[in-house]
Amino acid sequence: MIINNVRLVLEDEVINGSIEIRDGAIRAYAETRSHLPEAMDGEGGWLLPGLIELHTDNLDKFFTPRPKVDWPAHSAMSSHDALMVASGITTVLDAVAIGDVRDGGDRLENLEKMINAVEETQKRGLNRAEHRLHLRCELPHHTTLPLFEKLVDREPVSLVSLMDHSPGQRQFASLEKYREYYQGKYSLNDVEMARYEEEQLALAAQWSQPNRVSIAAMCRDRNIALASHDDATHNHVRESHQLGSVIAEFPTTFGGGRSLPRAWQ
């Protein structure tokens, strides 16, 4: 297939020209038009390589479209895949959370089903986009490392991020914002919220750092890309770099963002 009259988005420039696609891959492009009769007219449209989605929770919505509704796995996967391709995304890292902040969440219940769906549909060639896995590891939880050890060698795993949503940390440096968020999310009264906060602080003190070090080491051993999450300070950024992170996912302050070029040189 040859397409004329398109704006080709290259690595560092945009050119007007034509492109040749053969066997599903880009074979050549030029700043001139093709004179072959079968060439299509792109009508001056923009033509980009397929986008790469590093972090999407979109699959969750199709597995549980309504509270307490359990949708068939392959139907959910097919709908999710169609939406990704319609958005111009051709490589998808489906994010699944392990070590849920609160036991009993739909994500934890759907974990194995979602991973199996990604793995099986990819192996069988049913997806239009290429689907990989992004393991989002909630560090302050006793189930995180055992689950990670069980899943890390699954073939689609391509990215791991280290998260800590405990009180006073990173995204929730403000305890007021932390309480506002989780009281609203879980419908907790003040007494229940105080108990929940105390439990999360205890979990963080026991598990966050050991899990961080162990998971990072396993990723380095397997050459799996590691991402930090919600870096807020220079110390966060420096620690992430020392652990081997290659992606800073969602720095939450200007200070954290500005520290990245210096700390990661």
pLDDT digits 0-9 by tens, 131-190: 999 999 999 999 999 999 999 999 999 999 998 877 767 667 677 788 888 787 888 898
Mean pLDDT of 9-31: 93
For residue 106, pLDDT beyond 60 = no
For residue 120, pLDDT beyond 90 = yes
pLDDT-based confidence at 262, cuts 50/70/90? low
Strand 89-98 versus strand 51-56 pairing type: parallel
Instruction: Convert 201-263 into a string of H (helix), E (strand) and C (coil).
Output: HHHHHHHHHHHHHHHHHHHHHHCCEEEEECCCCHHHHHHHHHHCCCEEECCCCHHHHHHHHHH
**177: which residues sit within 8 A by CB, 6+ positions away?**
none
Indicate the helix (H) or strand (E) that contains 90.
Answer: strand 89-98
Query: What are the tens digits of pLDDT across the range 171-187?
Result: 676 777 888 887 878 88
For residue 120, give the nearest of 77, 89, 166, 173 by alpha carbon.
77
111-115, 206-210, 234-238: least confident range: 234-238
| Residue 210 identity (one-letter amino acid) | P
Mean pLDDT of 241-265: 76
Burial track 104-136 (b if 16+ CB lie within 10 A, e otherwise): eeebbebbebbbebbbebbeeeebebbbbbbbb
Distance (Å, rounded) from C-alpha 206 to C-alpha 187?
26
Q: Which two tokens stand for residue 8?
A: 């080709």
> Between 52 and 233, whose confidence is greater?
52
Q: What is the pLDDT of residue 261?
A: 67
Q: What is the pLDDT of residue 102?
A: 59
For residue 12, pLDDT beyond 70 = yes
pLDDT-based confidence at 74, cuts 50/70/90? very high
Range with top average pLDDT, 55-64, 75-84, 199-208, 226-235 = 75-84
For residue 64, pLDDT beyond 70 = yes
Query: What are the tens digits of pLDDT across the range 39-52?
Result: 999 999 999 989 99
List the domains of the chain with CATH numbers.
Answer: 2-47 (no CATH), 51-263 (3.20.20)
Q: What is the pLDDT of residue 124?
A: 96
Distance (Å, rounded) from C-alpha 229 to C-alpha 224?
16
